[in-house]
Amino acid sequence: MINFAIVGMGHIANKHMEAIEKTEGANLLAVCDTNPDRLEMVPSNVKKYTDLGIMLQENPEIQAVSICVPSGLHAKLTKIVAEHKRHIIVEKPMSLKLEDAEDMIKYANENGVKLAVVHPNRFRPAIREMRAKMDEGAFGTLSHANATVRWNRNQAYYDQAEWRGTKEFDGGVLMNQAIHDLDLMLWLMGPVVFVQAMAATRLRKIETEDVAAAVVQFENGALGVIEAATTVYPKNLEESLAIFGETGSAKISGRTANFVETWDFEGVSEEDAEQVKQAIKADPFGKPGHQWIIEDMVEAIKEDREPVVTGADGLAPVKLILAILESAETGKKVILN
């Protein structure tokens, strides 16, 4: 049995709790939040703390910790957990600064612990199908890709906690929402070499951008178009990811990108494509992404291997977003190396 702890008992911690509960070989031993009110909903058999260091010192049996605090605190808490020699699962975005992401990888390596980053959308059934097609080479020479996030996060969402919408602790629509889609784009299309972008704060009273648009070029020569907004009236409209190549076109869409809208490949009949669409429609969400991540950490510890979503994987979309923001700020094309 692998003993887990969670630090930061807000919204997303619930998904970690459920995932640990459902995972064979995982046990939730302790939780921690600096706000004691947040510990009240935790079952009585789980130990409760308001200080991470004390929780780790008093419970040497804790082997892995899920870090679910505001994003700007991920690096600081990763350091504490790594120095206590416990494995780490850190929520997205891994960090808001490139140096923090690099440090987090260093802390994990120096202390010999595993570092996994929560990018749960990689495990969506439709996305896994798309990845399989990419691995087969079914798209042929790639032309371009498109990631669209047309969502609504109203002012009340940003006002629910002081850290939301701040540069220091949250980031804007790119770091908080669209990072999922940028991670998928990078995972499917490979690294980006340059970015040209614009961003604005149009409708929400926040420090960060609520709408952004970018064009990118991937290392393989294909282009990419990104549109991300939390300003869409009156509710979430669309999250989609499309890839176009010489012998294939695929688009995954819906309010959240869980459904196959387009599935056209050379050598794949219309009937077969329809079958893929219907199979996904029958089970669009599959096993929760957080459960994949917890199960993977259990196996990674037992098998002493890297988690499937590594620190380097978590760093890549952070780097891309920082380049998009730099381009938006300077009006210049930014080259990534």
> What residue ranges bind ligand NAD (CB under 6 A)?
7-13, 32-35, 38, 52, 68-71, 73, 91-92, 118, 120, 161, 176
* Residue placing its CB nearer to ligand NAD in the complex, 84 or 133: 84
Residue 284 to residue 278: CA distance in whole angstroms = 9
Residues, the chain: 337
The two three-digit tokens of residue 326, written as one number: 């730099």
Give all strands of the β-sheet with 115-117 in edge-to-edge order: 47-49, 26-32, 2-7, 64-67, 87-90, 115-117
* Residue placing its CB nearer to ligand NAD in the complex, 38 or 144: 38
* Residue placing its CB nearer to ligand NAD in the complex, 99 or 270: 99
CB of 163 to ligand NAD, least distance (A): 7
Q: Is the peptide bond before 36 cis (omega within 30 degrees of 0)?
A: no
Residue 292 to residue 312: CA distance in whole angstroms = 18
* Residue placing its CB nearer to ligand NAD in the complex, 62 or 276: 62
Residue 122 to residue 285: CA distance in whole angstroms = 11
CB of 267 to ligand NAD, least distance (A): 35
Burial class (CB in 10 A: 0-12, 13-18, 19+), 162: exposed
CB of 209 to ligand NAD, least distance (A): 16
Closest by CA position to 195, among listed 178, 215, 170, 210: 215
* Residue placing its CB nearer to ligand NAD in the complex, 87 or 153: 153
CB of 276 to ligand NAD, least distance (A): 25
Amino acid at 61: E
CB of 200 to ligand NAD, least distance (A): 21
The two three-digit tokens of residue 176, written as one number: 């908080």
CB of 49 to ligand NAD, least distance (A): 9
* Residue placing its CB nearer to ligand NAD in the complex, 176 or 253: 176
CB of 119 to ligand NAD, least distance (A): 7
CB of 290 to ligand NAD, least distance (A): 7
* Residue placing its CB nearer to ligand NAD in the complex, 10 or 286: 10
* Residue placing its CB nearer to ligand NAD in the complex, 12 or 228: 12
Q: Are strands 2-7 and 26-32 parallel, antiparallel or unpaired?
A: parallel
Contact between 298 and 3 under an 8 Å Cβ cutoff? The reply is no
User: For ligand NAD, which residue has the nearest CB?
Assistant: 10
DSSP for 147-181, please give it.
Answer: EEEE-B--HHHHHTSTTTT-TTTT--HIIIIIHHH
